[in-house]
Amino acid sequence: MRICIFGAGAIGGTLGVRLAQAGHEVSLVARGAHLAAMRTHGLTLLKGGARHSVRLPAVDDPAQLGVQDLVVIAMKSHSLPGAVEGLAPLLGPDTAVLSMMNGIPWWFFDAWGGAHAGLAVKACDPDGRIARAVAPSRVVGGVVFMAADVPEPGVVRHNSGNRLVIGEPSHRPSARVAALAAALCGAGFEAVASDSIRRDIWQKLLGNLCFNPVSVLAGASTDLMLADRYMCAMFAAMMREAMTLAAALGLDMDVDPEKRMDQTRKLGAIKSSMLQDAEAGRPIELDAIVGSVVEIAAHVGVPTPFVDAVYGTLRVRAANLGLYPGP
């Protein structure tokens, strides 16, 4: 396949290297020092004590790449509205767009049916720019269960996890999802096709909704937070609020908050992606991960007091640190 990684950071870069090694024609869209390093030295993946380096077309102008079979959107959610118009030269009649971002994606209520069909979540797509640029028929949903970072420009490091879940927003099987899952498995990922991609997105959100924003407020890794019983009580309350909201939307979430926290404890000292961004002085993904839940809960009429409190507190703190545009 011709595959463009639109946002070749930690996750996107990991995907790009391994898909290229599997024989696909991969190109990268990035910017800044990371792009400059990839152009000069190629892209290096650090994984399991080994270094894997590849030289791939790397650009900041997608128009240089031409039409693709697949575009993987792997950038931070708040960066996408300003960049999404650059997708146009990559899209042919049959190009699929695989969204692999944290939080609630812009397409979440497309092909939904029922009372919430077509709900536009402004926390994900403030002015509808993404929805206008990417036709719903192109979208394939994705969930990433991996941890990676960028230790230096031109280098990505795969730290843990190897599972990718993809599925159609219609929740119906499709030939393209089967082909994409096969391509990802061929690149060494544990990729599975989902019959309910929204449920999988929400299941991952249960952890991100809690650990990411609170890690920035506390300045702490997950092991330290989960060693405190008062913080654990707050996490459990936030997860229950999110599960109540999921049930109101028709998503069955059979998750025990205590077991969910135990899973994270076993991973050890993990710095959330939001904390990594905050410590590096980069904008944080607050709206897609937390603001979207607050917005959807208000629309549906489900109270989420703990989630609201965390959202409001971090909005003010992040604005004061220059990491968020402000309330």
267 vs 276: CA distance, rounded Å: 17
- Cα-based torsion angle of the residue sequence 78, 81, 82, 85 in order, rounded to the nearest 10 degrees: 150
Report yes or no: 64 and 51 within 8 Å, Cβ to Cβ.
no
Residue partners of 325: CB distance under 8 A and separation at least 6: 319
User: What are the structural domain ranges in the chain?
Assistant: 2-195, 199-320
Report yes or no: 24 and 1 within 8 Å, Cβ to Cβ.
yes
For all residues of the chain together, what is the average pLDDT? 95
Q: What is the pLDDT of residue 327?
A: 67
For residue 52, name the pLDDT band (cuts at 50, 70, 90): very high
Q: What is the pLDDT of residue 254?
A: 87
Enter the tokens of residue 286: 């607050």
- CA 175: distance to chain centroid? 24
Q: Name beta bridge partners: 158.
A: 47, 148
For the stretch 81-115, pLDDT in tens is 999 999 999 999 999 999 999 999 999 999 777 78
Q: With 70 as the cut, is the pLDDT of residue 169 above it?
A: yes
For the stretch 206-219, pLDDT in tens is 999 999 999 999 99
Superfamily of domain 199-320: N-(1-d-carboxylethyl)-l-norvaline Dehydrogenase; domain 2 (1.10.1040.10)
- CA 167: distance to chain centroid? 15
**Catalytic: 204?**
yes
Pick the CATH number of 2-195 from 3.40.50.10540, 3.50.50.60, 3.30.210.10, 3.40.50.720: 3.40.50.720
Q: What is the pLDDT of residue 301?
A: 96
For the stretch 193-246, pLDDT in tens is 999 999 999 999 999 999 999 999 999 999 999 999 999 999 999 999 999 999
Q: With 90 as the cut, is the pLDDT of residue 46 above it?
A: yes
For the stretch 230-289, pLDDT in tens is 999 999 999 999 999 999 999 988 899 999 999 999 888 888 999 999 999 999 999 999
Q: Which residue of the set 76, 204, 259, 271 is catalytic? A: 204
